[in-house]
Structure 1
Amino acid sequence: MSCLSTCSRRRFVMRGGAAALAVIGAPALAQSAPTRIRYQLDWRFEAGTAAHVLALRKGYFAEEGLDVSLNVGAGAAATVTRLASGNFDMGTGDLSSLAEFAGNNGTSPALAVMALYETTPAAVISLKKSAIARPADLKGKVLAAPANDGARRIFPLFANANGLDAQSDVKWMSVEPAIRETLLARGQVDAITGYVASGFVSLQRLGVSPDDISMMRFADFGVPLYGNAVLASKPFLQEKPAAVAAYLRALTRGYRDAAADRAGAVAALKAHEPLVDEKIEALRLDVILDQEIGTPKVRKAGIGGIDAARYQRGIDALAAALAFKSVPQASALIDMRHLPAASARRIFPS
């Protein structure tokens, strides 16, 4: 995904100030000089990044003794390579892309420290007039997506699970993220791949009725993968594990606030990024919280956990579908020691 033109001017925005360090009762980490964290978001400032923005603007990062800069992103898959560059300490990245990097490079630049999407939000999105209701209906169709789109990257897994040939049964058009939904709305392509919330809301913004949108969620068609997670670069995790734990505590508070006061979360986004369309982001936040993050498991057990055995099954399937050079071990790609307590991770009101 690419950013709006204004994002380049807002590449690094608002750091948590050190003033809050004097707050009585702040965690022990806040008693020393603030720790800088360069955080790579997966996308621009919209509903999907609201929890980070809330943690920043409400001072949660500062209370934890952190000096955080939030950098707009180009997609969850791109975060992995950006962490590999050494220019960022933590970021929101796709767990499948993390496994792919490790499988093709023999190592990973980061470890997953907190799952954000317990199931992948990837989907094939079409208009109902195209009569694409099941995977077999995609044969001979033209799909559009950016080359580094996370859903497009794992499409071969969706194809394998549903009797499709990912190479010959569909045709791909590589496009910029900004025009993906536009091409679909205009009927210039048959379908697109993307994340549920982004596609669903972007099409409505273009005037497409929700009743005219058809979605095949990968998770409903034999693709039991995790989605995005908070990643921490290996050097940063080794040198400053307390800061990683502090970031996760603050972020979890941001998610809890977003779930409890959705209008407030959208208002915070608007204050942070004036170009935000509040009506659109309210719709997007509802989809993210209710359909992407708020699975029955997360509502019961809390956000964040990654089961190594389940992740390994996904990695094995990805390695076969995408022809990894080697099959990485899930246990070598995750570190769950820095999560907040389970009770603190129950972000949805009971």
Structure 2
Amino acid sequence: MHLFCAFQGLLMRHSFIKFAAAIFAAHALITSQAMADTSIKFLNDWRWEGQAAPLLLANKGYFQAEKLSVSLTPGTGSGATVAKVASGEFDMGLGDFSSLIEHAAKNPATAPPVAVYMVYERTPSSLFIRKASGADKPTQLAGKKLGAPPFDGGRKLWPAFADAAQTGVVIWQNVDAAKREEMFAKGELDGITGFYFTTMLNIEKQGMSGSAYTVYPFHELGLRVYGNAILVNPKFLAEHPKEVGSFVKAYHAALKATLSNTREAMKAVKEMDANADEQFEWRRARLAFDTFVNTPTVQETGMGYIDMKRVQSNIDVVVAAYKLPSKPTAKSIARADFVPSK
């Protein structure tokens, strides 16, 4: 009898140890899963050029410090990013704010992506005019031939810009984005629209002197439209608000570091593209940062700041310029509460 009781006690102790071990293992698994980095698929607006340095730098430690595992994909245009984030193909991306408004207006039954951090406080869309065309300023453009791809942000915003700049009626020619600057340099076009820091350097690569043309960033003629913003898929935002906040925090820190030491940040660009010319990309980055990112307005409000009243104003401008079928609300496409304090 004593032997049976002892044996029974041994079995009970053994079972308890196995049970305790199972509980410990389950707890460890749950803990490790909770501590695992959150994966985020991010689509950039364009190729890995100088202006992308903050994002690339953020992925060299800043995201990891926030327990984020971010996969970065180069983009094919800031407008295209909007659609791919909206579809859920990517969780987040850097996209054109006017294109976001357009998407929301054309798809009123579907929740649009949400802007949570304004990278470009001004649209980089700009007008370039050949001096040899006989026009030196926008008011002299009537009857002149301008070229841009149909999807170009500056061309789509042209009705608003033309009204503000009093350009008169121009003749638009559809051109391939890869041929735009070449045609301009050859004199086949009187003017073109494009992103300030990309188009200017592409014209230079064509051998055209800066003294041979005049450039007018849209904002200089009163068109206060936001540029590119960090966008979030609405489902991902609803399920991962904390992680979105962590992403913004990391990007914000990397952007500040890039502005502080842009030459050092170019190393991150070089690592992503071995063919990148660090000096050339530094010039591109400074053109972007000094003119559209670290603006006088940003120096007052802080980087990334989203002014919801200005969002509504942008909606009004874009809906009118694009002749959109509906008008989204400001709160449906933007949130200001993720931006870190100044």
Give the TM-score normalised by structure 2.
Answer: 0.86
Between the aligned partners of 1:336 and 1:300, the Cα distance in structure 2 is: 16
Q: Is the 8 A contact 1:117 1:226 kept in 2?
A: yes
Residue aligned with 1:338, SS: coil
Give deviations 1:255-278, integer Å, cap 9, x for gaps.
112111111122221122112122
Q: Is the 8 A contact 1:76 1:92 kept in 2?
A: yes
Matched, 1:53 2:42: no
Give deviations 1:23-43, integer Å, cap 9, x for gaps.
xxxxxxx97111111111100
Give deviations 1:298-338, integer Å, cap 9, x for gaps.
12331111111112112112212221111111122111222
Deviation at 1:89, TM superposition (A): 0.4
Residue aligned with 1:337, SS: coil
Deviation at 1:136, TM superposition (A): 2.4
**Structure 1, 210-219 or 224-233: larger mean CA deviation:** 210-219
Aligned position for 2:338:
338
- The residue identity in structure 1 corresponding to 2:180 is R
Aligned position for 1:40:
43
Give deviations 1:108-149, integer Å, cap 9, x for gaps.
420000001112111111233334332222222222222221
Residue aligned with 1:336, SS: coil
1:95 to 88, 94, 97: 97
Higher helix fraction (1 or 2): 2
Q: Is the 8 A contact 1:132 1:214 kept in 2?
A: no
1:148 to 144, 151, 176: 151
- The residue identity in structure 1 corresponding to 2:95 is G
**Structure 1, 206-215 or 187-196: larger mean CA deviation:** 206-215
Between the aligned partners of 2:45 and 2:261, the Cα distance in structure 1 is: 23
Between the aligned partners of 1:114 and 1:138, the Cα distance in structure 2 is: 36
Between the aligned partners of 1:108 and 1:176, the Cα distance in structure 2 is: 32
Matched, 1:70 2:83: no
Aligned position for 2:311:
311
Matched, 1:231 2:234: no
Between the aligned partners of 2:132 and 2:245, the Cα distance in structure 1 is: 48
Question: Tell me, which stretches of 5 or more residues in structure 2 are unaligned?
Answer: 1-32
Deviation at 1:171, TM superposition (A): 2.2
Aligned position for 1:172:
172
Question: Tell me, which stretches of 5 or more residues in structure 1 are unaligned?
Answer: 1-29, 343-350
Q: Is the 8 A contact 2:95 2:230 kept in 1?
A: yes
Q: Is the 8 A contact 1:124 1:217 kept in 2?
A: yes
Give deviations 1:10-55, integer Å, cap 9, x for gaps.
xxxxxxxxxxxxxxxxxxxx97111111111100000121110111
Q: Which has the larger radius of gyration?
A: 2
Deviation at 1:164, TM superposition (A): 4.3
Residue aligned with 1:216, SS: strand
Q: Is the 8 A contact 1:205 1:280 kept in 2?
A: no
Between the aligned partners of 1:213 and 1:270, the Cα distance in structure 2 is: 31
Residue aligned with 1:59, SS: helix
Aligned position for 1:269:
269
Matched, 1:84 2:56: no
Q: Is the 8 A contact 1:160 1:321 kept in 2?
A: no
Give deviations 1:176-219, integer Å, cap 9, x for gaps.
32221111111121111111111112112222223333111111
Residue aligned with 2:337, SS: helix
Aligned position for 1:8:
none
Aligned residues: 310
Aligned position for 2:247:
247
- The residue identity in structure 1 corresponding to 2:273 is E
Matched, 1:125 2:128: yes
